[in-house]
Structure formats: structure tokens, C-alpha cells
Structure 1
């Protein structure tokens, strides 16, 4: 739908400009549309060479064209930004295409030559190859379409994003790689913080609302915390109406840690039995309750008596409502328990 919106928007723009600028010659009109659609990215003296039919090509087709070039060059890539947001659920138009490439700086000139041979205008090659800038801003000459080709950083998270990229088929013979929806959400929260752009927030909302339970919220929380975006992720999941899904995933992922904490309390003889079939382990911040009669295991915040997780048989999540502080604390407890395993160095006492 997003691609159709983009084509429709461009066709409408063409129709309107034809009516308003009837006096322009075909080359002048082509230059006018290039300036309108590319704005500050319009190359000097650039006149589109294709027909108006090619001008309304959407960014998805541009991605397919670039895919062929990258495959021939052996360059891993993934599509991100607005096109990926459209693919995962946010129906909107987008002016350009954002792609991240894993390519050595020394290979940039060869890549630029291949792009130019395929009909792209490729400025700033020396600056990108030298590392002064990290983005090749290329324009497909016949279609008035542009793409930002971002050279990937070298770090564990970027490597993980390439490992998690997903393949989507456009036609029987053409596929493209997209950033995973989880990585797209995290990246758009990062971009939104830097740019203060509401568009990034809307894209995240669109992806969360469309994907819902098909997302790995624990993965997103892990990296959101890494980039100091945990509160932003909490807020956007609440606005998107998927907070309960995220909380239940957290409870499922944390159940084993909670059970280990309870068993450790039993081994240390630190549990009590206030009533028949009920066993309680009381830590510094949390109370763990095992109710054998009701086949239920619960975790309650000691201060305020607030239940953050309730489980049925085999760890089935019945309810979950952790705060950010709870998430952080149980992550620390899990790390503490891992450090207490045989062969590890036991840190200072940190009971639940």
C-alpha cells in the first residue's frame, strides 16, 4: 500500500505541475520535477532522462534495482527507514530509500563505478572512501529516485542487525533484504531522539500496531536499555496498545530466573509456610509465593504489595505488569544468579 501511495502521490504531483507550468519545455519540466522531488539533493544541471512513466517509480523498485548491483558486488545490505516502516505496517509515502551496506572503504570506488554504469549519479565518492562522511547519496538518473547508502559501523550491534535481516520477495525472481522489525523500532527511536521528529515515533507506532505479538519485545528492551531508550520504548508500547504483550514476554523470559531465586531460598532454608500448601520466600525487594493448592507462582513487590507476575502450571503466564525498575532489577538478579553458579566467583549478596 505504501508503494502505491508513493506512485499515486507522484502522479498527482505531475498532473498538478503540468497544469501550473504549461509554458515549460519538456527538458525544463523534467528539471523542475527533479528540483521539486529531490529538493536540496538535486544534482546540479541534472535533467531526468526517462519518461514520466518511469518518474513515478516507487522506492521498492529502486531497492530491487540496487539489490542486483549489491549482489553482483558481493555487498551485504539491508533496507531501513521509511521503506522498511511501510513494509512492516506504517502506511505512508516516502521520498527516498535508506539502505545500510557492509562494505570496506577501499571497495567504495568500485561500488561507485558499478552504480554509475547502472545509471546512477554518485557524488562524494572520495569523501565516503576516506571516511570523512559515511553516506553515499545516489540518484537514479532516469527515475528521479534517490537513495542514501549508509556505510555500516563496525560494532556488535551492527553485526547483529545484519545477522537478523530478513528477506522479502518482490517478484518471482527478485528479493530484497530488510532490517528486522525489532531493529527498525530501536533505530527509529534512536533517530527520533536525535532529530526530535514525530515521523519516527509514528513509524514505530505503526510497526508495533501492525506486528503486535510477532515481535521480540525482550530483544527490543535489551537494546533500548543499551541506548538509554528504555523509557521511550515503554511509552511507545503503551501508546500502541501492545504493552501487555511486551510484559507477558518479559514474564516468560524471566520465569526461570524467578524460580531459581525461589529454589535458592529453599536451599538456604529461607522460606516460610504461612498456610497449608503456601510457601513464601521473602527477599530484600520481592516476595516469591508458591501456592501448590492453586498451582500458582507469584512475584510481588515487597513495598506496596504489587504483583508483577503470576504463573500457572509449567510457567504459563497468567498476568504480568513489571515496571522499568522491575525489569532492571530482575536482569541484575539473573546476572547475580549466573555468577553464583558452580565455578564462578560469588559477588556481594543480592537477594530478590
Structure 2
């Protein structure tokens, strides 16, 4: 499957299964901002025990790499940072699947997710506040400037009319004032 939005191969299967998810990371930053190159998609998934087998069936071995059921279940049982990959064999495109676990920010993001129509397909994106906060956290952890660039492009794309108050409250709660200051300076 060759597409300008190769992540649709993953999101459409999640939609068909009725599994709650949201696209985050660079794909969400591009949705709110501007395109840049990436070879994967980050998807936050709320996965129940009964969904694990269904997920495995939806991504069959002949078309996808999907980890074994015991790996999915092991990652699903983590309170924080549960993660596994799905890879589409034909395109080589990868989905980093992050499980919501007991992460309050994941829960907030899923509750406030934004549904969009992309090429006639429904895609659920993380809300911009979530994406910006996570990018600042990743910047704090690893120092990669791509996160600041994504944030600055998102702020341009969201425009002046966008209500920043929820974001500013989250920045305060997460103690990300220094990272926010750097993101604002990057935009100048």
C-alpha cells in the first residue's frame, strides 16, 4: 500500500476493531502544523485484555509484523510505558504502539482526542495540548531539536485564535516552563 498517509493502514484496522486510539508524535504534529519526513507513526492505544487477540488477528503475519500474544499481554499489563511495534511488510512503515496503561496524560488525551477525515477515512488524533506537552517531555529527556521545531510549526498552524489556556495549565502542572520557553524562542 503506497499512500501519502501510510499510517492509515494501521488506524483503519483499529477503527474496524472499535479499539480506542489516538495518533500522536510527528504525525499529529504534522496534522496541526506542517509536513516533515518520518518513517513511523506513534499511536496511543487503550487496549483491553479481550482486544489483544483481536489485534493479533487484524494484523496477520503474511502482511504485518505483530508481536506474539504473550508480548502484547505483557506490555498491556504495564502501568506505564507499555509498548510494541507493528510493521507493514510491503511498505516497511512502522507503528509504535504505546499502551495507555495508567498514564493520566494518555487518559486525558484520549478523552479529548480530535476526530478528522483524512482522504475519506476517519483518523483520531491526540489533541494539540497533549502533543505539545509530550514533545516538550521528549525534548527534556533527549534534547532533540525536532520536538521544538514541531511545536513551533504547530503553534503557527493552530493560529492566534486557538485557546492556549489549557496548554499553559498543563505546562505548569508538568513543570515544563523551561522547555516551553525554549520552544517559544525556537519559533522566533
- Please say whether Structure 1 and Structure 2 have the same fold, judged by a TM-score greater than 0.5: yes
Superposed structure 1 runs of 4+ greater than 6 Å apart: none
Match for residue 86 of structure 2?
A: 138
1:206 aligns with 2:150: no
Match for residue 110 of structure 1?
A: 54
Deviations 1:76-110 (A, max 9, x none): 11111111111111331111111110112453233
Cα separation, partners in 2 of 1:102 and 1:232, compared to 1, 3 Å: same
Deviations 1:46-69 (A, max 9, x none): xxxxxxxx4x534x2x33222221
Match for residue 187 of structure 1?
A: 134
Deviations 1:175-199 (A, max 9, x none): 1011111211111001111121111
Match for residue 26 of structure 2?
A: 82
Determine which structure has greater relative contact order: mean sequence separation of CA pairs < 8 Å that are 6+ residues apart, divided by chain length: 2
Greater C-alpha Rg: 1
Q: Distance in 1 between matches of 2:143 and 2:183?
A: 15
SS of alignment partner, residue 133 of structure 2: helix
Cα separation, partners in 2 of 1:75 and 1:152, compared to 1, 3 Å: same
1:129 aligns with 2:129: no
How far off is 1:229 after superposition?
0.2
Mapping for residues 42-61 of structure 1, pairs under 5 Å: 54=1, 56-58=2-4, 60=5
How far off is 1:124 after superposition?
5.1
Identify unmatched segments of 5+ residues in structure 1: 1-53, 242-352
Q: Distance in 2 between matches of 1:90 and 1:192?
A: 19
CA contact (8 A) 1:78 1:162 kept: yes
Deviations 1:289-345 (A, max 9, x none): xxxxxxxxxxxxxxxxxxxxxxxxxxxxxxxxxxxxxxxxxxxxxxxxxxxxxxxxx
Which stretch has the larger CA shift, 93-102 or 154-163? Answer: 154-163
Match for residue 187 of structure 2?
A: 240
SS of alignment partner, residue 153 of structure 1: coil
CA contact (8 A) 1:208 1:237 kept: no
Mapping for residues 335-346 of structure 1, pairs under 5 Å: none
1:218 aligns with 2:165: yes
Q: Distance in 1 between matches of 2:39 and 2:14?
A: 22
SS of alignment partner, residue 220 of structure 1: helix
CA contact (8 A) 1:108 1:129 kept: yes
Match for residue 297 of structure 1?
A: none
Match for residue 321 of structure 1?
A: none
Q: Distance in 1 between matches of 2:62 and 2:149?
A: 35
TM-score by length of 2: 0.86
Q: Distance in 1 between matches of 2:181 and 2:66?
A: 41
The number of equivalent residue pairs is 184
1:169 aligns with 2:117: yes
Q: Distance in 1 between matches of 2:147 and 2:185?
A: 16
Cα separation, partners in 2 of 1:148 and 1:214, compared to 1, 3 Å: farther
SS of alignment partner, residue 115 of structure 2: strand
TM-score by length of 1: 0.48
How far off is 1:119 after superposition?
2.2
CA contact (8 A) 2:84 2:98 kept: yes
